[in-house]
Amino acid sequence: MASEKLPYKPNPKAPRAVLPVLDPQRRASTPEEVALGFTPEQALAEAQRCLQCEKPKCVEACPLHIDIKRFIRRLAEGDAAGALDVISEESPFPGVCGRVCQHELFCEDACVTGKRWEPVAIGSLERFAADHARLRAQELSPNGARRPTGPKVALVGSGPASLIAAYDLVRWNYRVTIFEALHKLGGVLAYGIPNFRLPREILAEEIARLQNLGVEFVPDFIVGKTATLEDLFEEGFEAVFVGTGAGLPYLMGIPGENLTGVYTANEFLTRINLMEAFKFPESPTPVRVGKRTIVVGGGNSAMDAARWARRFGSETTVLFRRGRAEMRARIEEIEHAEEEQVHFHFLAAPVALIGDEKFHVKEMECIRMELGEPDSSGRPAPVPIEGSNFRIPCDTVVAAIGQAPNPTLQRATPQLLTKRGKIVINEEGETSIPRVFAGGDVVRGGSTVILAMKDGRAAAAAIHKALSS
């Protein structure tokens, strides 16, 4: 316990607050956010479950090292604005991270309260601080925008790695420009995560804060086509960070994958999340979802695709080659999918897609699996059971089995060292090209938002060190 006397008595034995959610029946016809956030009363009670440890392990476990102990104490004292101030010392994205970070794998997993009782709901408290204190009016005012005067730094891609790097660099007075290939900002936060998990106004508000701090955004600009890395240096940029993510989907590699009605999760989610296909015909971009959808995969993208398919009125099944315990999706997302009547078929994998006379998918042939010895992922390897093939009727298939980095910049930059499509970096985050740094999914492959942010923060520090020497 902390030596300083608290103005309240911690109550770790109290039941963990349950996050209110939208009624499952209503979810079937709306893209509205599902998790509704704590009430002030819930947030106060949950914050007071925190023991205020003298050596808070949650802070060590947080990839951004947010002072969790201190911001929760502010909430426990009823000071949501003060809590947001503490979070903002390290992160400009409490509204985003409070919703999409896998807290259960990081801070909440390390929570000392959770060793005897239930862990403190740190993620939901972070979201509460963002939603109920919001950003200062003067910070969001265009008239108050800062004008950094330091060296110019270019960031390629506007996903989480670049956004956190920009936040750190602009506060160190660097003139930061983010180049984004798409017409909307946010990278995977914009095209990969549905409105019902991350409302677009939350993302837009937190990006607006960066703009007000002096970060410049240039959309519709593909580094590797519109301009090369060499062009950026010739334009006066003294360092470049590549945070282009992993947007090249893996294919299933089975017969029939080119049939009509078969999507990758990347295309499916981009059409809906970025191009707002759920508003068709108001939106010019359609997505055709049939009566029976099969989503292949067990990660968050699979859950997102399956839950969107339900909102289009489709009977939806998630097919996963391992068991429920081996799924990489957040437990919360799996539970929400089940509440929304998404079905799960475990220990099965697709082997072929069968089409009708019009070349539209009508069936998926599958094979049953059993779990063997652990593979390189640390999970039991799925092993096909010979002679166990079966078929499932379907008219829509979404493959959500992972993605690799987009190769555009790498192909345009042959001197950039890569391995299996991923950019190779040293311990400082620097690539084979001096003063070109990289991080996030373009280095890791498909990973998580918070680990991409961790990489972006490390790269920003390395850039600062390189340009200060």
pLDDT digits (tens, 9 = 90+) for 35-76: 999 999 999 999 999 999 999 999 999 999 999 999 999 999
Question: To the nearest 10°, the Cα dihedral for 294, 298, 300, 306?
Answer: 20
Regarding beta strands 361-374 and 390-393, do their DSSP bridges make them parallel or antiparallel, or are they unpaired? antiparallel
pLDDT of residue 347: 98
User: What is the CATH class of 24-134?
Assistant: mainly alpha
pLDDT digits (tens, 9 = 90+) for 193-207: 999 999 999 999 999
What does pLDDT average to over the chain?
94
- If you average pLDDT over residues 369-398, what whole number do you get? 95
How far is Cα 120 from Cα 264, in angstroms, rounded to an integer? 37
Count of Cβ atoms closer than 10 Å to residue 22 Cβ:
16
User: What is the CATH class of 144-247+405-468?
Assistant: alpha beta
Kind plus residue range of the DSSP H or E element containing 394: none
How far is Cα 180 from Cα 344, in angstroms, rounded to an integer? 36
Q: Which residues lie closer than 8 Å to 24 by C-beta, 6 or more apart? A: 339, 340, 341
- If you average pLDDT over residues 176-190, what whole number do you get? 96
pLDDT digits (tens, 9 = 90+) for 79-114: 999 999 999 999 999 999 999 999 999 999 999 999
Query: Which CATH superfamily includes the segment(s) 249-403?
Result: FAD/NAD(P)-binding domain (3.50.50.60)
Give me the residue spans of the domains in the chain: 24-134, 144-247+405-468, 249-403
pLDDT higher than threshold 80 for residue 411: yes
pLDDT digits (tens, 9 = 90+) for 279-304: 777 878 889 999 999 999 999 999 99
Same fold, 24-134 and 249-403: no
What's the Cα-to-Cα distance from 311 to each of 27, 293, 340, rounded to whole Å? 7, 12, 9
433 or 132: which carries more pLDDT confidence? 433
